[in-house]
Amino acid sequence: MRGRLFLAVVALALAIALPWQERANAARPPATPTPYAHMPYPAPSVIYHGVARPLCAALVRHVRPVVGMMLENDRTISKSPPLFSQYNRDLADLGANGEAADQAERDLTLYHLEQLVTPLANNVNAMQRELASQNVFPSHPQTDDEKTLDEMRGELLKALATQAVALDIINGYVQTQQLAELQQEGASGAESRAINGSDTTYSPTPTTPDPLLQDPHQAGIAPNPYAIDPLAIPGITGSVGTTPVTRLMAAIAWLRAETTRRENIAAQTVGAVAHSCSAHPTEPRSHP
């Protein structure tokens, strides 16, 4: 059931909210012989003129790409919970056995988590840029169409905000674990030198920062007026007996559910606009 309404509306928008040129091409009858067919020089060209409604143009050229990237992010974020769970198991195995094979498995799982960050960050930033264009979404809407555009933009930004926090959590955890590994390696080397008498400046390794306290915009995400404080996510602060990884997994689960809820709200507006744009398609006017 997850996201069905959003997917259905997206499919509707893709199917019926087409540029007027595509409608004209589909409706245009097959070519028939013209009085100029027998002449050695080309026939006079026919120029087609059409007027695109700004609301419909924005739906096709700007909203549709945003929706596509948002759905792609949903699929990418859905890959993180199994990886978090696997990394937790890898840490437990490494603590119990301390074998090189367990270390390699942990590093591989962390690598797979890291591979989620770049596509998510690229899409989040691209969506933010699309929705921030004042040429498409006026900052002070006046007409009904402009107000509809502003409403659609706000609903998409709200869904984008939850995806951005999911990115922050994944990226923050990866960076924290990588930093911990570097600190551990550095401390081991410094401690060895201190024992051998070759280093008198050794000091204990600083405490690894909590990934939940990282800057929510550390991945280079443009500001979103609906940005969410990660610490406000239900369950993320944890309780007795929980681990950092289980808290992060609970946060990701809440964010995915909240993203779906917000996407479905946006879907209603997107669907209404798509229906409006398809109800009265603009007919091209030809001028020889």
What pLDDT, on a 0 to 100 scale, did the predictor assign at position 278?
83
What pLDDT, on a 0 to 100 scale, did the predictor assign at position 90?
80
What pLDDT, on a 0 to 100 scale, did the predictor assign at position 119?
96
- Per-residue pLDDT of 185-235, as tens digits, reads 665 554 555 455 555 443 444 444 444 444 444 444 458 899 998 888 987
Parse the chain into domains and list their residue ranges: 53-280
What pLDDT, on a 0 to 100 scale, did the predictor assign at position 183?
79
Q: How far is CA 78 from the centre of its chain?
A: 12
Is pTM beyond 0.85 here?
Answer: no
What pLDDT, on a 0 to 100 scale, did the predictor assign at position 24?
47
210 vs 7: which has the higher pLDDT: 7
Residue 141, Ramachandran bin (φ over 0: left; ψ between -120 and 50: alpha; else beta): beta
Burial of 108-121, coded b for 16+ CB within 10 Å and e otherwise, reads ebbeebbebbeebb
What pLDDT, on a 0 to 100 scale, did the predictor assign at position 206?
43
- At 115, the pLDDT band (50, 70, 90 cuts) reads very high
Question: Closest by alpha carbon to 147, among 273, 259, 57?
Answer: 273
What pLDDT, on a 0 to 100 scale, did the predictor assign at position 122?
95
CA atoms of 264 and 18, how far apart (whole Å): 22
CA atoms of 24 and 52, how far apart (whole Å): 12
Q: What is the mean pLDDT of residues 253-280?
A: 91
- Checking if the pLDDT of 124 tops 90, the result is yes
47 vs 103: which has the higher pLDDT: 103
What pLDDT, on a 0 to 100 scale, did the predictor assign at position 142?
94
Place of tokens 């674990």: 177
Compute the mean pLDDT over every residue in the chain, rounded to the nearest whole number. 76
The token pair at 54 is 């700004």
- Per-residue pLDDT of 23-71, as tens digits, reads 444 445 555 555 545 555 555 555 544 456 899 999 999 999 999 999 9
State the DSSP code for 286.
Answer: E
